[in-house]
Amino acid sequence: MSDLTLPIDRQRPLDPPDEIIELSRQASMHRMRYADGHLGWLVTGYAAARAVLADPRFSNRPEKMHPAFPARAALAQNGEFRMPPGMFLRTDPPEHTRYRKLLTGQFTVRRMKMLEPRIEEITNACLDDMEAAGGPVDLVQAFALPIPSLVICELLGVPYEDRARFHEDAKVLVNLETKAEDALAALGSTMAYLHGLIQRKRKEPGDDLLSGLIESGDLNDEELTGVAFLLLLAGHETTANMLGLGTYALLANPDQLAAMRDDPAVVENGVEELLRYLTIIHLGPFRLALEDVEIEGNLIKAGEMVGLSLPAANRDPSRFPEGETLDVTRPASGHMTFGHGIHQCLGQQLARAEMRIAYPALLRRLPGLRLAVTPEEVPMRSHMSIYGVHSLPVTW
Amino acid sequence: MEIKADTTVCIGAGMCALTVPDVFDQSDDEGTVVVLRGEVPPELEDAVRRAVTLCPSGAISAS
């Protein structure tokens, strides 16, 4: 199996690639060839994936990582590329701990509850605009993207009118086929914008997260820029794709859609099940072994890469029986869509609040919601690091 | 049932507060785990065990 490279192309839009499904039936860990020739690992089993992500002997620092995709290999070899210091997702403790502790208080369950009335207002305003425009509309542009975009911009204190430029850069950055020079340009453009924003906020602070971080005095401007970039990117691309792809999945499963629309008691677990079933982080995360580690009888040697297939882990039949079926009533908590271990998603409670509000609001306001094209015509984000739909033409 | 919470390990993911809000909360400054009650009523014990399993950093335990 050592000639295996990471399978990306899906035969069916809502299921992992057939090669991944077949591999996960055989074993939970596999030898895999990375894009630079390095022979590392691919994990498809739930327990093994949790074990890797919870183990401090694996690093998330990018410096010695072996890229899984050819375009990323070129980027890694480009001497100009340097991870901004505040991009704490790609750090290890104690550096990671320092950044995370500065931010966790801003994303607690209670604080996200307090945001709910504002998320409801934003959601209803999007639905008002959709109704006024009349179908067909692209649900991504009219609903799935603006809700998380407005919320994270408000939370961070990024003027919403500046978003168009950031969206373009984000698209380039999460595209796995983006050339090194294009990725560097997009990163540079957004970082320059955010650096300027932080300098403006130093002079004129507002009542927002970035102003609060500036005031606390713990981070310099370069670190603040990196933090702002990470939160802005993570706040956009993830929930937007969950809302777009989730609606596509519900339209393909009318009984599940009806349950999410008609039974408020189903919604909370239904959101967890959509997170599990869709697993939009469809390639990775990746880790590097800092020393020899044995997991489920497999010896991962120091310096070897481990890539995780979260979609496979979330459909592991030993953890989620009949996991290939979308069932909003199954106990779905414990899925790995937000990761596991110290890097588990900082914004997960915000994402949950947005989805708990947005899905039922959409389905109740527009009970006749349907695709305006055939399901096969919906363009899927197969070659993006975050899976979803590029657009979702709907009418009602 | 005895609950132990280690705020030096906690990463503030909030899974405990989401799963059993009657037992767990998060601090306002660092978002780390706060145990609201020493005694867990029997009807909440299963939920507390689930919260322990869901905790991504191994910061809480129950015995």
Answer yes or no: do A104 and B32 touch at CB < 8 A. Answer: yes
Q: Phi, psi (5° rounding) for residue A291?
A: -150, 175
Does residue A9 form part of some domain?
A: no
The residue written with tokens 């300098």 in the block is A199
| Minimal Cβ distance to A105: which of B30, B57, B58 | B30
Give A-chain residues touching B50 at CB under 8 angstroms.
333
CB A6 within 8 A of CB A41: no
Instruction: Say whether residue A93 is in contact with chain B using an 8 A CB cutoff.
Output: no
Helix, strand, coil shares, percent, chain A, to 5: 55, 10, 35
Distance CA B42, CA B59 (A): 22
Answer yes or no: do B29 and A105 touch at CB < 8 A. Answer: yes
pTM for the full model? Answer: 0.95
CATH number, domain of A293, equals 1.10.630.10
Distance CA A281, CA A384 (A): 9
Instruction: Tell which residue, A27, A30, A37, A26, has the closest CA to residue A7.
Output: A30
Does residue A177 form part of some domain?
A: yes
Answer yes or no: do B54 and A348 touch at CB < 8 A. Answer: no
In a mutagenesis test of the A interface, which of B6, B9, B10, B15 is the best target, namely the one with the most A β-carbons within 10 Å?
Answer: B15
Looking at CATH, the fold of the domain delimited by B3-48 is given as Alpha-Beta Plaits (3.30.70)
Burial class (CB in 10 A: 0-12, 13-18, 19+), A134: exposed
Task: Give residue A341's region: left, alpha or beta (phi > 0; psi -120 to 50).
Answer: left
Within 8 A by CB and 6+ apart from A358, the residues are A119, A123, A143, A147, A243
Does residue A7 form part of some domain?
A: no
Tell me the C-alpha to C-alpha distance, in Å, between residue A151 and each of A120, A155, A208. 10, 6, 12
Answer yes or no: do B14 and A107 touch at CB < 8 A. Answer: yes
For position A2, what pLDDT does the model report? 56
CB A371 within 8 A of CB A251: yes
Q: Summarize pLDDT for A121-170 with one digit per residue, the tens.
A: 999 999 999 999 998 999 999 999 999 999 999 999 999 888 888 888 88
Does residue A12 form part of some domain?
A: no
Please tell me which residue of chain A has the smallest CA distance to B18: A109
The domain tally of chain A equals: 1
Answer yes or no: do B25 and A110 touch at CB < 8 A. Answer: yes
Does residue A10 form part of some domain?
A: no
How many residue pairs from chains A and B have C-beta atoms closer than 8 A? 65
CB A84 within 8 A of CB A371: no
| Minimal Cβ distance to A349: which of B18, B54, B56 | B18
Residues of chain A with pLDDT under 50: none
Does residue A167 form part of some domain?
A: yes
For position A173, what pLDDT does the model report? 85
For position B38, what pLDDT does the model report? 81
State the CB neighbour count (10 A cutoff) for residue A299: 10
Question: In the structure encoding, which two tokens stand for residue A276, read together?
Answer: 């599990």
For position A265, what pLDDT does the model report? 97
> Domain map of chain B by residue range?
3-48
Answer yes or no: do A107 and B21 touch at CB < 8 A. Answer: no
Give A-chain residues touching B56 at CB under 8 angstroms.
53-54, 339-342, 344
For position A79, what pLDDT does the model report? 66
Give the least confident one: A277-281, A318-322, B35-39, B43-47. B35-39
For position A85, what pLDDT does the model report? 82
Mean of the per-residue pLDDT values of chain B: 95
Domain that holds residue A112: 18-395
DSSP B42: G
For position A320, what pLDDT does the model report? 97
Minimum distance, in Å, between the CA of residue B6 and any CA atom of chain A: 14
The more confidently predicted of residues B59 and B1 is B59
Instruction: Say whether residue A94 is in contact with chain B using an 8 A CB cutoff.
Output: no
For position A165, what pLDDT does the model report? 81
For position A81, what pLDDT does the model report? 67
Answer yes or no: do B17 and A109 touch at CB < 8 A. Answer: yes
Distance CA A50, CA A117 (A): 35
DSSP string, B3-20: EEE-TTT-----HHHHH-
